[in-house]
Amino acid sequence: MSLLWLKAVPWSTIVSNAPLIVDGAKALANLARNKAGAAAQPAPSTLSGDPQTDLTALSARVQQLEREQRQAADLLRSMAESNAQLAQAVDALRRRAVRNMWLVWIALAGLALLGTWSLLR
């Protein structure tokens, strides 16, 4: 496979979004680490008998799950924004390539007319 496709990569967009990508990766790693740590702890599956203690433990767990869900939603939102920016960059590159192709065809037609004109002269 040729490495010419690397020229078509919107490096300026990737570099400008690099901090967002790194932050997203860190957030994802932290989320995975937190889930792994939570999985290592025994789940309070048995009731202690005290309804107030059980309710407090369940409330804390629900709040933790809500925090994780918000973090995951923020991460997905930032990834979607990055994806949208990359899609816009690819579309701009496609339009530029089409425009350049038209310019090449016009230049070739002009050269052909100029060559024909110079031969007939």
For the chain, give every domain's residue range: 17-38+51-120
Is residue 115 predicted with pLDDT exceeding 80?
A: yes
What pLDDT was estimated at residue 38?
63
pTM of structure: 0.49
Instruction: Give yes or no for a contact between 71 and 27, defined as CB atoms under 8 angstroms apart.
Output: yes
Taking only the tens place, the pLDDT of each residue in 56-97 is 889 999 999 998 888 888 888 888 888 888 888 888 888 999
CB contact burial 27-55 (16+ within 10 A = b; e otherwise): eeeeeeeeeeeeeeeeeeeeeeeeeeeee
Between residues 110 and 8, the one the model is more confident about: 110
